[in-house]
Amino acid sequence: MRTLSVGVIGAGDIARKVHLPVLLSMPDVRVRWIYDTALDRSRSVGRAFGIPALGPCEPADLPECDAILIAIPVGVRNAYYDVLEPRATGVLTEKPFAVSSDEHRALSLRFEPYRLACGYMRRFYTSTKLLKELIARRQFGCLRRIRVSEGNRSTGSRVDRSYLDDVRQSAMGGILSELGCHSLDLALFITGAQAYDVRTCEFVLDGKVDRKISACITLRESEHLPSSGVILDYCVSWLDRQANSIELEFEHCTAWTAVSPGGDVYMGEREKPSTWIRLVPTVSAARTANQAFYLQWRSFLDGLVSRSESEISARSALLSTSLIQGLYAHGRCHA
């Protein structure tokens, strides 16, 4: 078994709480180093996990690895891409991948498809696989509508996410690019849609940071959807409690699941629990966040070794970036 070396850029919550525990559990992976411009933080994380923490250095000074995790804000990544492109290194970046579809496309063209990935780990949930199968098989008729709502009133200190309030770092904004991108990508992924139309979109802003978004979107151009497309009713919020679910309305029934990784898929009438039927998945996938991150890394690293495009390739997420950009543009135009 070939051992792959991985370097980590960014020592924030996502690297510390999920990526590092997952990577260190993989027998064919060696985490070679961790780097963060906040040196105290990277040294603290390095000591906790027994990983060398790099001292002050320029991007060009980063030691070579088979793969690199980029877990820093989207607005400060370009210098690292410039260095990693000619090295033939694999790069997995945390979402959001880019601030515009033009930037996303240009960056994707600089790397072979198997070398560049974006961390949309919800694609590996068991519920995601099942919903995708229901849409493709049309056992309950054509899909008519999708409803997604996610979020809760946020009272946390957000100490590790202060970059969201700094447009120089986040480059995009708040909840849509930080949390909402996951469910948008999920809707595109399970339907196979290749195009969209933003019908309506409303933001609640706190300065320049979006705290809530409500939108109505048509997803279209998929062999699994009607020629007219399907409506996606979409809401994510840090201001109030949402249903935290994704619901698919078919011709003959409704299916739904929680947005959490362990959510079961049910069918029936949501307002009548006596009608609910829990569906048994036909495939085994992730039922915890750590499992989803593991499968994400497995897909990417296996693709890197075989030089085949992974399920989370940056190229496969281009429409997700375009849709986020389109929602921001529509919201500004109608503010």
User: pLDDT tens across 1-35, in order?
Assistant: 689 999 999 999 999 999 999 999 999 999 999 99
Q: Do 142 and 226 share a domain, yes or no?
A: yes
- Report the number of distinct structural domains present in the chain: 2
Instruction: Tell me the pLDDT band of 317, cut-offs 50, 70 and 90.
Output: very high
The answer, yes or no, to whether the previous bond of 86 is cis (omega within 30 of 0) is: no
Q: Do 66 and 29 share a domain, yes or no?
A: yes
Residue 335 has a pLDDT of: 56
**Amino acid sitting at position 101:** S
Per-residue CA distances from 287 to 125, 141, 293 (Å): 6, 27, 11
Q: Is the pTM of this model over 0.85?
A: yes
pLDDT tens digits for 226-285? 999 999 999 999 999 999 999 999 999 999 999 999 999 999 988 888 999 999 988 889
Q: Do 102 and 235 share a domain, yes or no?
A: no
pLDDT at 155 exceeding the cut of 60: no
Beta bridge partners, 246, equal 148, 257
Residue pair 133/192 in contact (Cβ under 8 Å)? The answer is no
**Percent residues over pLDDT 90 in the chain:** 83
Mean pLDDT, residues 187-197: 97
Instruction: Determine the Cα–Cα distance for residues 210 and 1; give it in Å rounded to an integer.
Output: 46
Residue 158 has a pLDDT of: 47
Q: Which CATH number do you get for residue 30?
A: 3.40.50.720
Q: Look over the chain and give the mean of its residue pLDDT values, rounded to a whole number.
A: 92
Mean pLDDT, residues 153-182: 64
Residue 39 has a pLDDT of: 94
Q: Do 38 and 111 share a domain, yes or no?
A: yes
pLDDT at 106 exceeding the cut of 90: yes
Supply the range of the domain harboring residue 141.
Answer: 122-286+318-333
Helix (H, G, I), strand (E, B) or coil at 312: coil
The whole-angstrom distance between residue 243's C-alpha and the CA centroid of its chain comes to 20
The label of the residue with tokens 């890197």 reads 304
Q: Do 161 and 231 share a domain, yes or no?
A: yes
pLDDT at 332 exceeding the cut of 80: no
Mean pLDDT, residues 70-82: 95
* DSSP symbols for 114-183: GGEEE--GGGGBHHHHHHHHHHHHTBTB-EEEEEEEEE----S--GGGGGGG-HHHHSS-SHIIIIIHHH
Residue 196 has a pLDDT of: 98
Burial grade of 183 (CB within 10 A; 0-12, 13-18, 19 or more): buried
Q: Do 94 and 165 share a domain, yes or no?
A: no
Residue pair 238/156 in contact (Cβ under 8 Å)? The answer is no
Q: What residues have CB less than 8 Å from 306, skipping those under 6 apart?
A: 114
Q: Do 35 and 104 share a domain, yes or no?
A: yes
pLDDT at 164 exceeding the cut of 80: no
Q: Do 27 and 92 share a domain, yes or no?
A: yes
pLDDT at 165 exceeding the cut of 60: no
- Supply 240's token pair: 């109030």
Which candidate, 84, 76, 111, places its Cα nearest to that of 6? 84
Mean pLDDT, residues 39-56: 96
- Supply 210's token pair: 């979006």
Which candidate, 315, 163, 141, places its Cα nearest to that of 224? 141
Q: Which CATH number do you get for residue 278?
A: 3.30.360.10
